[in-house]
Chain A
C-alpha cells in the first residue's frame, strides 16, 4: 500500500509550497487582508507548526525537508531567503535556525485553572508576501518537478513529497496540466508525489472542498486545477473526516474559494503525512 512509509530522521519526507505571487494576489479577502498577506501568514504558521512537531527537548529532528517556490512576473524564485536562499529544500532544523526575523505576538493560553491568560510568544517569519506581474504557472510547476525529481532520487524509500500549490489566477504561460501530470508521476518506493491545490478565486461562488468530480466547479480554470490535483490518500481522507469535512472515496486535494479558516485547514491536512517516529 502506498503512503505508509514511516517518517524518521533517516527517512524524512518533503513539503514544497508553490505560491502564486502574481499581481492579482493583491486583492483583499473577506477579512480585509490581501490574499498575498494571508497566504504568507499561513505559510509562516505552517512552517512554525511543522517545526514544533519536530522539536524535542534536545533539538529539532529532521523529519521533514521543506521548500517554498514563489512565482510571479518573469521569475520563479526561492521563497526562503537569507541563509536559506542557496537551495530550495532544507532540513527542517535549518529552517528553524534561520528565520528572516522574529516578530512578537500574543496568544491565549489555558491557565490550568479553567481560565485563559494572554502570553507573549515569538513568531518567526520566513516568507514575506509579494504580488506583482503575470502568472508563469507552467514554469513554476516544471521547476517544482525538477526539485522533486532530485529529492525522490535522493530519498527512494521515503514517504513521497507533497506539493501545496496556492493560486488565484489563470496561468499566463500555457496549460500546466501536462507538467502537473509529470510531477505526479515522480515517485518513491512508497508511492507517487502528491499535489494539493488551494484555489483562491475572487469569484463570488460558494466554496468547494475536496471534490471527487469537477462537475460542481464554476469555470474551466478551476476544473483544470482540480485535474492537476492528486486524490487524497486514505490517511489524509481520515484526517479530513475527523475535521468534519465532506470527503469520500475519490476526493481530491483541491479546495476552491476557501475562506481563511479553510486555508489553515488545508495546510494542516496537507502537511500531516504519516506517523513520525
Chain B
C-alpha cells in the first residue's frame, strides 16, 4: 500500500488555517485515517487529529479506546482556567467522524472502519467503482450523522467497531490488478457519489490528481458550479499493486 495523493482544501479560503479535517498514516503498518471535525464544536480540529493519530497507533476501537481518546482530549485544557463561554462550549463537546483503513496484505484484504459521514471508495485501475462505505448514496449525506464526541453522553450510539456491522467493511483485493481507495470527507464524498449516480463519474479525475494545485482547481470549479457543498475537503488516495 502506498499513499499516491493527499490533499486538503479549507472551507473558507479566507481562513486557511482553520481547516478542521485531520489525516494520519502509518504506512508500514498499512494504516491510514481521516477525520472531519464538525464546525459547531469547541475544538474539533484537536479532536479529529487525536482520533486519527490514535487509530493508526491502535485500530482496536472499542469503548475503552474511545474513553482513552476523550481523556487525552480533556488533558489538553485546564477547564478551571477557561472563560464561561469556553467552559460551556467545552462541555457541549467536540464532534468528528473517523474513517480508518487497515491493509491486511497476507489476506489480500482491506478493513474499512467508519463512524460518521466520511467515505471510502474502492476503484479499479480502469476507473470503475467497485465498493463504497459507509454511505452508499449521495442522499445519505442529508441525514445528521452520528459523530464521535468528547461529550460521553453523545456517544450512546457507539459500542465499538467490532460489534457493529454498519461500521466495518472487509474489501478483498483480488483479482490482481491495481486497486485504489479514495478516502474523502463529506463534501467531496457527496459530490463524487452524486456524479456517479448521474452517470458522470469523477473517479478518473480523482485518480489523475497529481498535486495540491490540481485539487484546489477541481474543488473551486465544483464549488463555483454549486455542485459541491462548501466545507473542508480532505482527499487521500491509496494505491495497491504488486
Contact = CB atoms under 8 A, between A and B. Distances in A.
Nearest to B46: A57
B85 A10 contact: no
A53 B42 CA distance: 8
A81 interface: no
Nearest to A96: B85
B152 A110 contact: yes
B92 A52 contact: yes
Nearest to B44: A56
Interface residues of A, number: 24
Contact of A277 (B39, B67, B153): B39
A18 interface: no
Interface stretch (B7-15, B50-58, B188-196, B233-241): B7-15
A112 interface: yes
Nearest to A11: B12
Nearest to B94: A57
B85 A53 contact: no
Nearest to B43: A57
A52 B43 contact: no
Contacts of A178: none
Contacts of B169: none
Contact of B89 (A8, A52, A109, A112): A52
Nearest to A10: B14
Interface of A: 6, 8-10, 48, 51-53, 55-57, 60, 96, 102, 109-110, 112, 121-124, 275-277
Interface of B: 11-12, 14-15, 39-43, 45-46, 67, 70, 77, 84-89, 91-92, 151-153, 230-231
19 contacts: A9-B14, A10-B14, A52-B88, A52-B89, A53-B40, A55-B86, A57-B42, A57-B45, A57-B86, A102-B84, A109-B91, A112-B67, A122-B87, A275-B39, A276-B40, A277-B12, A277-B39, A277-B230, A277-B231
